[in-house]
Chains A and B, each alone.
Chain A
Amino acid sequence: MDDRQIVVLYGRRSEDAISATAEKYGKYCTAIAENILSDRQDAEECVNDAYLRVWNSIPPQEPHNFKLFLARVVRNLALDRLRMKGRAKRGGGEAIVAIDEIGEIASDIKSPEDELAAKELVKSINNFLLSLSQRDRSIFVRRYFYVETAEKISNEYGMSQNAVLKVLSRSRQKLKKYLESEGYTV
């Protein structure tokens, strides 16, 4: 089913919207949640929560890109769930490693004071990403948005794992410098 049709079904409050979403994007959503939670059952529960969240969001929201809208909802819920469960109990999930990597930059950045400031920071991150080469940008997104492992990324891009880790490390350093130049550091 076309994404527009699915959004229309949500708008119409038809229960078919959820089954259509699950049929088309169930695997996609579960993969994102599982990358973050490293637990199949948790991931499936998270995806079910995401369907409910989407049901409650559309309308009034009317996403232009339903697939990415869904991806963001799943990612946010999975991160919430990860936080609730606590790091100690979780062991070493992929998200924990990815978050630690980002920690290199975060520790030097001032917390945004409000929602507007947070949006400005996202804009800066967008601008920074646009300054990277397409390959490095996509590898960054695959790692820190979709939380994919370096191994998976290396397979997809025909690179060694080491090369992927180097690209990521270099991108993080560049992001840190970029944010410094934008005045975000403490």
Chain B
Amino acid sequence: MKKEELFALIGDINDEILIEAEETEIKNNVKLKFNIKWVSAAAALLLIVGIAFFVPNIIESAKPDIGPDIIDSGSDGINDILKADGVIWDNGVDNMDGVASNESVSSYTEQMNGWKLEYKLWNVLQAADDGDLIAVLVSRVYSDDFAYNGKTAADIKSRRDGLRSLQIKLLDFEKEGEWLKYGELLYTTGTPDGEKWAKSLYDERVEYYGESFLSKYIIDGEVATDKMKEAYDDASSELERLSSELTALYKAYRTSYADADAKKFADAGVHMRTNNGYVVIFVEKDTLSSLKIAEKDSYVLSLASKKLFEQSLDGNTLADDVTGFACDKFGFSNLQNGYGVIESDAELISTLNSLIDTWKYTFDYIEITVRAESHIAQDELRAMNAFQVEYADYPARTVLCVRYTDIDLQALKALSNREDVMYISISEPLTAIDAEQIPAVEG
């Protein structure tokens, strides 16, 4: 065998082994940095003493006038911040959990004066001018022992990983089951169609699947394909449920710390707001750099999404009474369930309702992405009750933003049945980050 071939094959080794190697790197990095910390402790102490004399005055004079600090759980007290000029926000939808999972802590963070910063915030800090006020989301690093409804994230992830392994096994067995159903014949005489394995390979595959799996899916010498499909679909449904459980757990975790963290940052003299369990501080880069907060290791800071603070609505369930959509043109896409196709009118409306229900505390609108022979004209966008739009080319793509309360199913149906419309995707806000407002009709 050529050495290049073997080297290329090493590229296919298991994900778990690769992940472990990356994690080992991080653990060792931490150890090295710890050692370095001791070496530079004296220098750091001198710096802190120096800063202690000067920083309080700097912080005081740098605070722009953005109104009084308000710790609240609604949107009334934040309008001043949302409207303030010079505040730098994330226009996307990052960090929706408001909790830093161990994965994000280890993989996606930069360090600055003891703070763990997500990469986008770090970039913004490098480019920010003096006087720029930056909206920073304070996320708690997830504590492994936090439980919600009797389950920790590790419990949920362990179950999730188990289900994914089962699905992989089922997919593998789809092919190998047709050989393994012959049992010992596979390595003794060979199968009727000439397949013959080494005993060691046979033993290895039997060990991989396990006796209970094999006895469950080989019935009367045949592979129980229907049973396998059912098991695969059941696992998919449970994976969706686990994903929702994990979101709920992170929300509970975030909320459990929100008040205490809000007070901590308010006591440190920085402007801050809370909303729906999210804690956001508003700081200049120098203020953040010198900010003294206990247990900095417990947090990861990231650029806050303005959408976290925009008014959210209760979902308004859409009635299941419109039919005649061109369903074959529809697809859905959302962070909970990935993407997929729509097969019936009822499924389309149910998907819309599910989308609204999932995101109602975060957004008040959905995105409808239309691929057509040309962009959708503005008067047609108004007919769809869209309030903002983003256009892209290659091919012509129009991303309409429509508030939950304004979704007009009849207009959506009419759009889907247009001959020049090729594809319509519905999703929570994700793409239209540079959307422009649709101007009102003159006169």
Contacts and interface: CB of A to CB of B under 8 A. Distances in A.
A138 B21 contact: yes
Contact of B31 (A4, A110, A158): A158
A121 B335 contact: no
Nearest to B339: A11
Contacts of A67: 107
Contacts of B394: 15
Given A8-B430, A142-B21, A111 B2 contact: yes
A161 to B, nearest CB: 15
A107 B365 CA distance: 61
Nearest to B20: A138
Given A1-B92, A72-B12, A103-B3, A59 B32 contact: no
B270 to A, nearest CB: 26
A100 B12 contact: no
Contact of A76 (B6, B8, B92): B8
Interface string A57-99: 0010010110110011001100100010000000000000011
Contacts, number: 147
Interface string B4-38: 11111111111101111100110011011000000
B9 A118 contact: yes
A151 B387 CA distance: 57
A21 to B, nearest CB: 13
B1 A102 contact: no
Contacts of A138: 20-21, 24-25
Given A16-B433, A106-B1, A158-B31, A2 B335 contact: yes
A108 to B, nearest CB: 8
Contacts of A123: 204
Interface in A10-40: 11-16, 23-24
Contact of A102 (B7, B21, B371): B7
Nearest to B29: A156
Interface string A134-173: 1101100110111000000001111000000000000000
A83 B4 contact: yes
Nearest to A155: B32
Given A142-B25, A183-B198, A15 B392 contact: yes
Interface string B246-275: 000000000000000000000000000000
Contact of A141 (B6, B13, B29): B13
A158 B29 CA distance: 9
A68 B55 CA distance: 44
Nearest to B340: A11
Contacts of A102: 3, 6-7, 10
A141 B333 CA distance: 35
A8 B333 contact: yes
A24 B119 contact: yes
Contacts of A52: none
A111 B431 contact: no
A183 B24 contact: no
A120 interface: yes
B200 interface: yes
A157 B26 CA distance: 10
Contact of A156 (B3, B28, B164, B431): B28
Size category, B interface: 35 or more
Contact of B9 (A7, A14, A122): A122
A36 B32 CA distance: 26
A134 B29 CA distance: 16
A65 B29 CA distance: 23
B338 interface: yes
A142 B23 CA distance: 11
B425 interface: yes
Interface in A99-127: 99-100, 102-103, 105-107, 109-112, 118-123, 125-127
Contacts of A62: 338
A111 B10 contact: no
Given A14-B431, A103-B3, A4 B335 contact: yes
A56 interface: no
A61 to B, nearest CB: 12
A126 B13 contact: yes
A137 B198 CA distance: 27
A107 B25 contact: no
A11 B339 CA distance: 7
Contacts of A15: 392, 394
A2 B94 contact: yes
A111 B28 contact: no
Contacts of B12: 72, 119, 122
Interface string B64-102: 000000000000000000000000000011101000000
29 contacts: A2-B96, A4-B335, A5-B93, A8-B335, A9-B430, A12-B430, A59-B339, A64-B164, A65-B15, A76-B8, A99-B4, A107-B3, A109-B6, A122-B12, A122-B13, A125-B10, A125-B13, A129-B13, A129-B17, A137-B20, A137-B21, A138-B20, A138-B25, A145-B18, A156-B25, A156-B28, A157-B24, A158-B31, A183-B200
3 closest pairs, A vs B, by CB? A103-B3, A141-B21, A11-B339
Interface of B: 1-15, 17-21, 24-25, 28-29, 31-32, 92-94, 96, 107-108, 119-120, 164, 198, 200-201, 204, 333-335, 338-339, 369, 371, 392, 394, 425, 427, 430-431, 433
